[in-house]
């Protein structure tokens, strides 16, 4: 059953392969052209985003100072508790069995709450910074995901046409007449042929399957070539945005 499904898939892939290739190519072309129109805008941070990038960094660093201060205060209270030999709970926290322990725990509670709040705010600013600093790379990736398939599918379609014609030329003496009679049979219902003989349908099916398999292999090859030699040279990978380069574009 498994091999039957594979055989069926191969047989069906022959006739539909060229249509799938050209449709995919057109879809990727549309997306790529749409992205190119916004290239100058999305390639780097705009002026508003640059201001936000600086503001987020400033807020992040201020919060880091607060976090360090709260952590130092917590450490100091724990050092005081150690010096005064206050009792500890099994989890290492200061025991509330003494008034001094209760007082220190109240102070710790305030600092821990402030520390948690500051870390949460800092994490939010960190996410904003990450989003902005990777914006050029995200756009570049999106551009690549459409540029490479567009051209690889386009060249694969041309390859399919050439392979199809060469194979038809191999099986039929007059390929142009053979193709005309095939299309006349398929679309116009013509039954009388000058060139075609019984069994031509099997030959065409084998040709379609062969060209589909060759086109798949060609697509894998041409995609790697486009990625390495065309796209990367035309659209170099942008750097990550930092405080040193954010204003260079």
How do residues 145-167 score in pLDDT, each as one tens digit? 888 888 888 888 888 888 888 87
Predicted local distance difference test score (pLDDT) of residue 12: 41
Mean pLDDT over each residue of the chain, to the nearest integer: 81
Predicted local distance difference test score (pLDDT) of residue 200: 60
3-state secondary structure of 82: helix
Residue 3 has pLDDT above 50, yes or no: no
β-bridge mates for residue 94, sequence order:
88
Predicted local distance difference test score (pLDDT) of residue 27: 86
Predicted local distance difference test score (pLDDT) of residue 35: 82
Predicted local distance difference test score (pLDDT) of residue 37: 81
Q: Which range has highest mean pLDDT (12-26, 170-184, 224-238)?
A: 224-238
As given in the structure block, the two tokens for residue 116 are 């948690």
**Gap between the Cα atoms of 217 and 230, Å rounded:** 19
Q: What is the pTM of this model?
A: 0.70
Task: Give me the percent of the chain exceeding a pLDDT of 70.
Answer: 78
Q: Which residue has the tokens 């540029």?
A: 147
Predicted local distance difference test score (pLDDT) of residue 129: 96
């Amino acid at each position: 059953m498994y091999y039957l499904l594979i055989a069926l898939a191969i047989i069906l892939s022959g006739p539909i392969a060229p249509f799938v290739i050209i449709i995919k190519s057109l879809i990727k072309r549309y997306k790529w052209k749409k992205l190119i129109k916004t290239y100058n805008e999305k390639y780097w941070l705009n002026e508003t985003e640059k201001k936000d990038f600086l503001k987020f960094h400033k807020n992040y660093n201020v919060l880091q100072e607060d976090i360090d201060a709260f952590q130092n205060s917590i450490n100091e209270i724990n050092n005081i508790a150690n010096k005064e030999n206050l009792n500890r709970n099994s989890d290492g926290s200061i025991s509330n069995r003494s008034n001094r322990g209760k007082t220190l725990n109240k102070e710790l509670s305030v600092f821990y709450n402030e520390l948690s709040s500051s870390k949460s705010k800092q994490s939010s600013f960190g996410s904003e910074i990450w989003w902005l600093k990777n914006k050029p790379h995200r756009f570049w990736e999106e551009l690549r995901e459409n540029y490479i398939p567009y051209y690889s599918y386009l060249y694969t379609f041309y390859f399919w046409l050439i392979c199809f014609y060469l194979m038809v030329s191999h099986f039929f003496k007059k390929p142009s007449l053979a193709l005309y009679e095939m299309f006349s049979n398929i679309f116009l219902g013509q039954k009388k042929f000058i060139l075609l003989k019984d069994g031509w349908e099997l030959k065409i099916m084998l040709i379609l399957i062969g060209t589909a398999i060759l086109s798949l292999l060609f697509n894998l090859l041409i995609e790697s070539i486009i990625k390495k030699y065309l796209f990367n040279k035309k659209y170099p990978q942008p750097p990550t945005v930092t405080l040193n380069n954010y204003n260079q574009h």
